[in-house]
Structure 1
Amino acid sequence: MSENIPLKVVEYEKFLNETLRSDLRKILEARDKIYSQTAEYLQLKNVIERMKETDLSQDELKTKVDLGCNFYCQANVPDVSKIFVCVGFGFYVEFTLEEALRFIEKKTARLTEEANNLTKDASKVKANINIILEGLKEMQHLDMTTKMEQRDIWN
């Protein structure tokens, strides 16, 4: 029985390093992507609110447009009463400013809920990592009173 312990330790370490930590990294990357999408929608919301405050509906708007890869050109917008908003999957919908604000509210609420779910998933994976680490300590008869030096995986 005791000769199987080193094999089990190797299996658990492999599972820990190849599966759990990889899953945690993927979850955190997905959550960061959602946070960046949320930030873009909130930035658009601020721009729309500023446009409404300054009442640009009678005037045309001069702005810079990103053509891609941070290459900007100057653009004139003759009608600022409507705006195109990315609704997902590469589709853009023309909204009035009020409709765009309502859409952004719903979209950011859904993105926030999704980010919260990913945070819960990350917590579960981190808990599983801690359980595996404790099991490895026990299997290797390490001193349970001394705390192992661990780096914070959230940074």
Structure 2
Amino acid sequence: MDSFRQEKVQRFEEFVDRRLKPDLVQAIAERSDLRRNIENLQKNSVTSLRTMVNLGSEVYMQADVPDTRRIFVDVGLGFHVEFTWPEALNFISLREEKLTRQIEEYTQLIASIKSQIKLVCEGIRELLQLPAERSVRGPIF
């Protein structure tokens, strides 16, 4: 039972470290770029622009955007929603908060499982009447 829980904790930790944290970093970077671009458009009162669009595999094409006051934002699962600038900025903030909450929830779950494992191990140690593990302090030699 103990090894099952340790395996489960390890899988959660790997999920948090390999998936959620990089996703959070990437999402925050993308949202920050989007936020910065929207704020620049607002600040400079840009209503149209010419840009380069990545078609994939680093192949770019020039594009004219006749009206920048409404933008399409990737909301996940391949869906894009048309937003005004203020709506997009609000969505970005909400999305960042959600991702941060997910990281915190998984971190708390990991801590809870680790404490349960420690409790079970301590109970087994007491049942088997084994001496408590001593932590090494100071120099070993």
Instruction: Give me the TM-score of the superposition, normalised by structure 1.
Output: 0.66
Q: Report the counterpart of residue 50 of structure 2 in structure 1.
A: 62
Letter in 1 for 2:13: L
**Distance across 2 between alignment mates of 1:102 and 1:133:** 47
Q: Is the 8 A contact 2:9 2:110 kept in 1?
A: no
Aligned equivalent of 1:15: 4
Query: What's the CA shift for 1:142?
Result: 6.7
**Identity in percent:** 32
Task: Give the Cα–Cα distance (whole angstroms) in 2 for the partners of residues 134 and 81 of structure 1.
Answer: 62
Aligned residues: 135
Does structure 2 retain, via aligned residues, the 8 Å contact 1:16–1:129? yes
Asked if 1:44 corresponds to 2:28, the answer is no
TM-aligned CA distance change 1:53 to 1:119, over 3 Å: same
Aligned counterpart, 1:82:
70
Residue 102 of structure 1, CA deviation = 1.9
Q: CA deviation at 1:52?
A: 1.0
* Structure 2 equivalent of residue 95 of structure 1: 83
**Structure 2 length normalisation: TM-score?**
0.72
Contact 2:5 2:113 in 1 (8 A): no
RCO (CA 8 Å, sep 6+): is it higher in 1 or 2?
1
Which runs of 5 or more structure 1 residues have no equivalent in the other structure? 1-10, 149-155
> Structure 2 stretches of 5 or more lacking a match?
none
CA root-mean-square deviation: 3.0
1:146 deviates by: 3.2
Aligned counterpart, 1:122: 110
